[in-house]
Structure formats: structure tokens, C-alpha cells
Amino acid sequence: MGLTSRRFLIDKDGVIYRMSNKRFERMVRNPENELIPDFANQRIRCADLVIELVDRQPAEVCRETFAILEFDHRGCLDTGKFEKQQVALVDAMLEPMLTDRKATSNIIDASQRFVAQGGTWAPTKALRGQIEKAALNIFKCNSL
């Protein structure tokens, strides 16, 4: 038994593409060399899933996260925006643990929450099912 991660990008028409983790890492580290012209000037939905493996075969979806990726006119990932959104998500998650509960102010700085929300999305039940089937090799999708 083990775990693996699978990443999928969903275009504006709802077409699901699987992207290898290595390619995604290259795209984040050096976006100028990992262009996706078909995604030029678009906000593309991204789904990251952690999959349990049994006998090296995908058996169950353990965790899902959903992000938005923005591409410029050439199909180059806007890594600055992506990184800001990822940091904001972590900040929003840790905020309750790090906030001084004895503070007397009624003012809450929600700016990070708005940044985080701009980088996430929630799939419909049907789309989530398709993504999970693709992650479990039940549904064949295109690769990037």
C-alpha cells in the first residue's frame, strides 16, 4: 500500500487533462520553458488528488484540492499569482492557531482570505466524479 498524487487541468469547455507532477514542477519553476499555448489568456481549473495505491494500482481518492491557474497571452503560467494564492491558503488555514485570542479589536484583516478564495474553485458533483474516475484510471483523459 502507498500513496501517489495526480494533477488534472480542466479547460473552459470542461475537458480534463492529466499533467505529470514533473511537468507541473517545471512549469512552476521555469514557466517560460513550459508554455501551454492552448491555455493562453485563460484561467484554468486545476485539481490535485492524493490516491491510495494497493498493489501499485489506484484504489481510493484520499484528498482533493482545487486551484485556479492563470496563463498569459503565450500560455505561460502566472507563477507570481499562483504562489501568492498558495501562501494565502496556508495563512488562512493557520490563522486560527496563530491569532491571539485575547485581542480586543473587532477588526479582522480578511485580505489574505480574499486572495486565497480567488485561487480556488469547487467542482460540480458530476465533474468531481469524472476527475476521480480519471485519477483511478477508470476514465481515460488526455495528457499534457
The number of angstroms, rounded, from the C-alpha of 117 to the middle of its chain's C-alpha atoms is 12
Query: Does any domain span residue 109?
Result: no
Q: What would the grid cell of residue 73 be? A: 497571452
pTM as predicted: 0.76
Number of domains present in the structure of the chain:
1
Kindly write down the DSSP assignment for every residue of 18-61, as one continuous string: EE-HHHHHHHHH-GGGS--GGGTT-EEEEEEEEEEEETTEEEEE
Whole-number pLDDT of residue 89: 62
Domain span at residue 54?
A: 2-77+121-143
Query: Does any domain span residue 128?
Result: yes
Q: What is the mean pLDDT of each run of 10 residues along the chain (144 residues)?
A: 94 95 94 94 95 94 93 92 71 62 53 53 94 94 92
